[in-house]
Amino acid sequence: MHELAKTGRWLGGTTPTGYSSESVQKVTTDGKAKKACKLKLIPEEAEIIKLIFDLYIEYDSLTAPESELMKLGIKTKNNKHFTRFSIKSILQNPVYMTADETAYNYLVKENTDLNSDKKDFDDIYAIMAYNRTRQEKGKAVTYLPPDKWIVAVCLHPGIIPSKIWISVQDSLNRNKSKAYRKPRNNKALLTGLLYCTCGNRMYPKISKQKTANGKPIYIYVCKLKERSKRTLCNSKNANGNTLDVAVIEQIKLLEDDKGSFIDQLEQSRKFYTRNRVAYEDQIASMQKNKSDIDVMRQLLSVFKDSIDEMTVEQKRSAIRTLVRKVVWDGVKAHIILFGAQDDDIEYPPLSQFSNETNAAEDDDILTKTHRGEDIKRDFTVNRLI
Ligand SMILES: [Zn+2]
């Protein structure tokens, strides 16, 4: 890594926003031509980098730049929204810092393994830091502190003046120590299962309100709504306390009316099978379906009898044995049971109901349909919220 660092080469991989990779011929000391890569500035992307630094400095926060960039419709190289994580990783990347005397002093002070002389920090080029991240198998990337970096001045131009880049690092460190871990809601049952009609996940958040018994009320909020500050999605939050209970109650009801529900399920599967597969497969498949349905029957029965006695963790996994996904449209929750493929699921349109008076009239189960293997159960919990 030291040898590579000294050559100041770009080692390949995803180039940082602001640059592309460019091939250059290099002649080594023994006269052989060698191919190497260096980073080349992309002016339009460099403007995005400057904007990200400006926004961070203006707001002293990572969430404000995130929603500002969304509003402006500015996306990453891969056409995704910038997240606070991608913004932070840009702010922390020393590749953007111009290599001048201030940068040199900073890198010496931070005890980096420096492979260029002071005279190389001539305010023309920028640095590359190797060994900045570590990724252990199956784990998220962790960023290593500067004293682990192997640094060299390279042949690409910097984008951010060193003084600004360094002050942003100080600010990020300050904010890190201030930051508290978001209190993880350990009551919410639908985390990971609940989706907004816009297709994004909804996650639980403790609200300031409390129930009559003084229990904290949590709400489920659409991630896109929160991140875009309502500019890209403005659907209604769901009351978590109420929705979780309502979903459980609805699943219990499936057991109560299993005569009709399971029968319908069975019928639909037979129909489905008859139309799709050859005769021999049909028999096997029908037998398999029969056992699936027996399992379903047992699951529903166990669910109904024991759910109330379960711990939160057990409830979560019990719900996951039956429910593939829950879509909240602002008024109704649509429960999609097992067997549904992700792309088969049509998100229900945003509910027609604009006020609670209308919605409350249909407080009970609204529809119960099945197409192919998707079994949906829709209901409204609006009155309760
Ligand atoms: Zn949404």
Closest C-alpha among 126, 142, 123, 146 to residue 134: 142
108-136 pLDDT tens trace:
999 999 988 899 899 989 998 888 888 77
Mean pLDDT of the chain: 77
For residue 275, is it within any domain?
A: yes
Label residues 195-207 b or e (16+ Cβ within 10 Å = b): bbbbebebbbbbe
For residue 188, is it within any domain?
A: no
Domain stops at, among 151, 178, 205:
178
Neighbours of ion ligand 1 (CB under 5 A): 196, 198, 200, 222, 224-225, 233, 235
37-78 pLDDT tens trace:
688 999 999 999 999 999 999 888 888 899 899 989 999 988
For residue 262, is it within any domain?
A: yes
81 CA → ligand 1 middle, Å? 14
53 CA → ligand 1 middle, Å? 28
Closest C-alpha among 188, 291, 304 to residue 254: 304
Read off the pLDDT band of 21 (50, 70, 90). confident
Considering the domain architecture, whether residues 155 and 210 belong to the same structural domain is answered as no
274 CA → ligand 1 middle, Å? 39
For residue 21, is it within any domain?
A: yes
Given a cut of 60, is residue 228 above it in pLDDT? yes
Q: How many CA atoms lie within 13 A of 303 on its CB side?
A: 26
**263 lies in which domain range?**
194-384
Most confidently modeled of 12-21, 157-166, 258-267, 337-346?
Answer: 157-166
199 CA → ligand 1 middle, Å? 6
225 CA → ligand 1 middle, Å? 5
Considering the domain architecture, whether residues 37 and 172 belong to the same structural domain is answered as yes
For residue 185, is it within any domain?
A: no
274-316 pLDDT tens trace:
444 455 555 565 555 666 667 777 778 888 888 988 888 888 8
Closest C-alpha among 305, 308, 296, 303 to residue 370: 296
5 CA → ligand 1 middle, Å? 45
Considering the domain architecture, whether residues 202 and 288 belong to the same structural domain is answered as yes
356 CA → ligand 1 middle, Å? 20
Q: Cα(256)–Cα(254) distance, rounded to whole angstroms?
A: 5
Q: Any idea which of 5-19, 28-42, 281-295 has the lowest mean pLDDT?
A: 281-295
Specify the pTM.
0.56
Amino acid at the residue 143: Y
158 CA → ligand 1 middle, Å? 38
Given a cut of 70, is residue 181 above it in pLDDT? no
